[in-house]
Amino acid sequence: MPVSKSFVFINRKAPYGTIYALEALEVVLIAGAFELQVKLIFMDDGVYQLTRNQNPTGIGMKNFSKTFGALGDYDVEQIFVDHESLNLRGLDATDLQPLIHGTTDGVERPSIKIVPRSELGDIIEGADVLLNF
Amino acid sequence: MKFTIQINTGPYTHQASDTAYQFTRAALKAGHSIHRIFFYHDGVNNSSMFSTPPRDDRNIQQLWSTLAEQHSLDMVVCAAAAQRRGILDQKEAVRHGKSAANIAPNFTISGLGQLIEAAVVSDRLLVFGD
Residue B127: closest C-alpha in chain A = A131
Query: Distance between the two ends of chain A, CA-based, in angstroms?
Result: 25
CA distance A10 to chain B (A): 13
CA distance A29 to chain B (A): 10
Q: Collapse the DSSP code of B24 into the 3-class scheme (helix H, G, I; strand E, B; otherwise coil) and give the result.
A: helix
For B70-107, write each residue's pLDDT tens digit.
999 999 999 999 999 999 999 999 999 999 999 999 99
Contact with chain B for residue A63, Cβ under 8 A: no
Provide the whole-model pTM.
Answer: 0.91
Q: Provide the sign of the torsion angle of the four alpha carbons A90, A100, A62, A18, taken in this order.
A: positive
Contact with chain A for residue B112, Cβ under 8 A: yes
Rounded to an integer, what is the distance from CA B25 to the centroid of its chain? 14
For A66-91, write each residue's pLDDT tens digit.
999 999 999 999 999 999 999 999 99
Which of B78, B81, B82, B104 is catalytic? The answer is: B78
* Closest to B21 in 3D by CA, of B54, B66, B52: B66
Contact with chain A for residue B116, Cβ under 8 A: yes
For B30-71, write each residue's pLDDT tens digit.
999 999 999 999 999 999 999 999 999 999 999 999 999 999
Q: Where are the alpha helices (DSSP H) in chain A?
A: 20-33, 83-88, 117-125
Average pLDDT over residues B20-29: 98
Q: Collapse the DSSP code of A1 into the 3-class scheme (helix H, G, I; strand E, B; otherwise coil) and give the result.
A: coil
| A125 has a pLDDT exceeding 90 | yes
Residue A6: closest C-alpha in chain B = B120
How much is the mean pLDDT over chain A? 95
Is the CB of B116 less than 8 angstroms away from the CB of A31? yes
- Cα–Cα distance for residue pair B5/B3, rounded to 1 Å: 6
How much is the mean pLDDT over chain B? 97
B113 is catalytic: no
ipTM: 0.86
Q: Which residues does A91 contact at the CB level (< 8 Å), separation at least 6?
A: A47, A51
Read off the DSSP letter of residue A96: B
In which band, very low, low, confident or very high, does the pLDDT at A35 lie, cut at 50, 70 and 90?
Answer: confident
Predicted local confidence at residue B4, as pLDDT: 98
| Neighbour order of strands in the sheet with A112-115 | A112-115, A78-82, A37-42, A6-11, A129-132
One-letter amino acid at A120 equals L
Q: Which residues on A lie below 8 Å from B113 (Cβ)? A: 30, 33-34
Predicted local confidence at residue A2, as pLDDT: 53
Q: A6-11 and A78-82: which strand pairing? A: unpaired
- Cα–Cα distance for residue pair A124/A8, rounded to 1 Å: 7
